[in-house]
Structure 1
């Protein structure tokens, strides 16, 4: 008996009540509207509902009267032990022990699929995050967006979304020429050009370019710049991809900005040219003062945006943004999510206005999530980059698991300071260790059970009657709904906090209830049944950690 089954039972009870009390206009109720909460005080039962408080007025009755009517009918439901009305009209439900305990077997049999749901089914999403310029290594800011973005992608996919995770490679424009010039200067032994990129990593790239093209300095000036830029760019992008993979972050698509500028062989127009004309055809592009504009103020922007200035034939970055947005739509992604850094607040209105100009609903079809800054106590600047804290250095120092878990443990919009020394400790005050240790303990319990001859050949859920078992089962029931809720809100930190609560409940159960009998005591049904509960908990811990991109060690 899980919350979904309870909701279905409650809907079957409420529907005739609503039809009887309000025959002229029955309430349009669905099971999804009838949420249950787990009482903090277990004396109040396994589940609680405030539906009577919400529906009493439209049904023309008092909350307590409606709650009592619901309670009387719900008490006759299979798997429900008792129902009580509390306070102004809360309905508290206690499940039969066997009905609650049956969940352990359900979880074990579902395996990695437990927690997966279809609440995002039919939702086609393009999720863009990180998207750092390929002109240097990923830094601490990118590290946070990588952890958050990948975890958001995982919970959305687990909830049924058709999602692609995308990295926009900013490989066009003046910054690429500055990057190439910086590498070329290093190859020649010259100072970094004004406005160029400093740091020993540029020297490393220059050495790589010279290794690949020993004849570099024999080429014409134009060929030297082009060759240095392209070889260094490819090498730096490969290093970025390697850094992300080492951090267990996977992108489905690396989209090159150059694709937006490339001319079609047949039409001679680029995707940017096409985007401007498409927006013009919809009445949102106008010419003024020799420049080309998009009237984004019609969609809430604080000013109209220039796509081509009067003194230039080169499109602005906003024009590329427009073409890129339309490209996402053209590739079939109705919903677009952008995860941007703290210095991109100004992009929110312009991107939403762009969505409106493209014919989308700015309130539904685009989300712009702004992540806040993160700092690391005692972290040193990168020796290679000189002025940043690199992702690779953080992963090497703290570890990918501890870093990913910690970055996903807080909402994106909250500033964050990490304490690496705490994250490296193997103690219970380190959250990632606490959760991973709980998983390792479930594996160890199963291992010891096998050696003692305890297996899952028997399952008697009515024997899971201890208070720690009731609490543990109650938490396990919450997991699918929590995954769906995290996906809906784009908040994977809820998964982390849940896992910590689950780990605590498991440790308390472990201290109280034995899976293997003491000494020469016989193996009984309760031991075999508890093994199911142990393994179910391990499965949920494993599934939850996977949603955060964190490993579930079997030994610690």
Structure 2
């Protein structure tokens, strides 16, 4: 019995009490209740504060409601005991057989264990990374590559239909500066004052010249266009390749240029005009965002007829909604906080619900440390540290895990020396080693001819109970990670689970020694080990990190 199953049992008890007339709830019976592992030993296997939450709606004292629930819950299958503590907390002990059955249930569920229908029917668009194709992918974008892809996996595990989207900025001043920088390199001139530097600029410029030997004989404007088109294609191909090697691929690569060529901006303006949120002033078109919480109204079309930066945002958001997405996520760097208010106002101006139809997640800075000192420069990119620098130093698994392990609200320092070590102070090594250790034990069992069997009533050891309860937490952790948009919860859970497994292994012999006869307890414990491997592999998979069988 895991927390979700116990929650269902408690909901059933509440429904029975209401049907019997023993309880009245003003808002009806809740669909689910919160069940957690108690922090202190001796407080049962699980605890819930449902009596405190529902007391007011029931018109009862919390402890009296707790006593009523406890008496009825005690009769339910799989419940060993219920104690009412303090003002109305319920401490619940599960029967060994009911708890032990979880191991077999996890093995039977396999890769599906941890899934739920929390976001079933939701069509979600995740836009992340979306770095300009003017240089190699830097650390800020790499953080969102790890976190965004993990969040997509978590949403899928909770029933959503997810589209991963990369917004390809191939329009505007930054691309022009990139093209001028390439042209200057090909001429042997220094980069323009507002241009881009680094070895990669010289590499791409040389590649364009090799592909178009005639480029330097063209008029400067035509030559710059050749460098723009060829350079953007080469740089974006490199970014896509680096992301693919990092385990991140996108379903859609959306070109910003298309918004301006397809009439999407005009359609967005027309829609907003119909809604009464576009007006003209001083020869320009303005979006009335102040009334939706922005600090001021925003120009959409300038007086010279050119679209302001916001025009592309309007068109792109409407395009996503017209493609049928219920929720649109945009993942941005720490320097984009000021962008949130206007985007939420834009969402409201379209008649949508801010923070529901549109969510913006902000990721803080990433710093790399080498020998205790900040690492700030890339040999190739010149001014920033790139995805290839990070992967080259610690590998894909450690890089993805390190970037997803922390709340995106916090800046992080990644100590390259620590994350490269094969020791227990390296979090990803700790979790992967637990999986490898479990896999080794299962291989040994196969060689000995010991087969896992479900004998749940035999799993009564304290450390078996702790491991079972830890395994039972995965569905709740995945659901919380989805609801809170926090993939780091998966990583922290896995680290705790690894420690719980090692304590179980140190106290409970799984395989017989020497001539010892194989018993049902050995088989039952082997089932528990198989369940542990399933949960470790599923959790690592949600982070896009491999689950090695040997280390």
Secondary structure at the residue paired with 1:163? strand
Which whole-Å CA distance do the structure 1 matches of 2:341 and 2:376 have between them? 36
Quote the residue 1:325 is aligned against: 317
Alignment of 1:446-485 (within 5 A): 446-456=442-452, 458-485=453-480
Match of residue 494 from structure 1: 489
- Please state whether the residue corresponding to 1:43 is helix, strand or coil: coil
- Are the counterparts in 1 of residues 78 and 98 from structure 2 also a CA contact under 8 Å? yes
Question: Which of 274, 299, 304 is residue 306 of structure 1 equivalent to?
Answer: 299
The equivalent position to 1:359 in structure 2, one of 351, 359, 384, is: 351
Which residue number in structure 2 is paired with residue 31 of structure 1?
31
The Cα of 1:21 is off from its aligned counterpart by 5.4
The Cα of 1:275 is off from its aligned counterpart by: 1.4
Q: Structure 1: where are the runs of 5+ without partners? A: 264-269
Residue in structure 2 matching 1:418, options 400, 414, 417: 414
Report the Cα offset of residue 31 of structure 1: 3.3
The corresponding residue for 1:43 is: 42
Q: Is contact 1:21–1:59 with CA below 8 Å preserved after alignment?
A: no
For residues 13 and 514 of structure 1, the distance between their equivalents in structure 2, rounded to whole angstroms, comes to 38
| Match in the other structure for 2:275 | 282
User: Which residue pairs with 1:551 in the alignment?
Assistant: 546
Q: Distance in 1 between matches of 2:235 and 2:27?
A: 59
Distance (whole Å) between structure 2 residues aligned to residue 347 and residue 365 of structure 1: 16
The unaligned stretches of length 5 or more in structure 2 are none
Give the corresponding residue for 1:266: none
- The 8 Å contact of residues 4 and 31 in structure 1, kept in 2 or not, is answered as no
For residues 66-112 of structure 1, give each alpha carbon's deviation from its aligned partner in whole angstroms, at most 9, with x where no partner exists: 21221111111111111111222111111111110111111111111
After superposition, residues 172-251 of structure 1 pair within 5 angstroms as: 172-251=171-250
**Residue equivalent to 1:15:** 15
TM-score, normalised to structure 1's length? 0.96
**Superposed CA offset, 1:440-481 (max 9, x none):** 01100101111122112x321111111110000001111011
Match of 1:408 among 404, 407, 415: 404
Where 2:285 maps in the other structure, the secondary structure is strand
Which range moved further: 197-206 or 172-181? Answer: 172-181
- Hey, what's the Cα distance between the residues in 2 that align with 1:319 and 1:482? 39
Query: Which of 367, 388, 395 is equivalent to 2:391?
Result: 395
Report the equivalent of 1:427.
423
Structure 1 window deviating more from structure 2 (86-95 vs 185-194): it is 185-194
Equivalent pairs counted in the alignment come to: 546
| Cα displacement (A) at 1:113 | 0.6
Question: Corresponding residue for 1:541?
Answer: 536
Contact 1:18 1:26 in 2 (8 A): no
> For 1:387 and 1:284, how far apart are their aligned partners in 2?
42
Supply the distance in 2 between the matched residues of 1:138 and 1:197 (Cα, whole angstroms).
14
Q: CA RMSD in A?
A: 1.4
Counterparts of 1:250 and 1:532, CA distance in 2: 35
Q: Give distance in 2, aligned partners of 1:361 and 1:86.
A: 42
Residue-by-residue CA offset, 1:272-331 (whole Å, 9 max, x unaligned):
122112211211111111111111112111011111222x22111110111011111111
Deviations 1:471-526 (A, max 9, x none): 00001111011101110110011111100110000011111112211111111111
Cα shift at 1:238: 0.5
Does the Cα contact within 8 Å between 2:26 and 2:57 map onto a contact in 1? no
Shift of residue 191, structure 1, vs aligned partner: 2.0
In structure 2, the partner of 1:336 is 328
TM-score (norm 2): 0.96
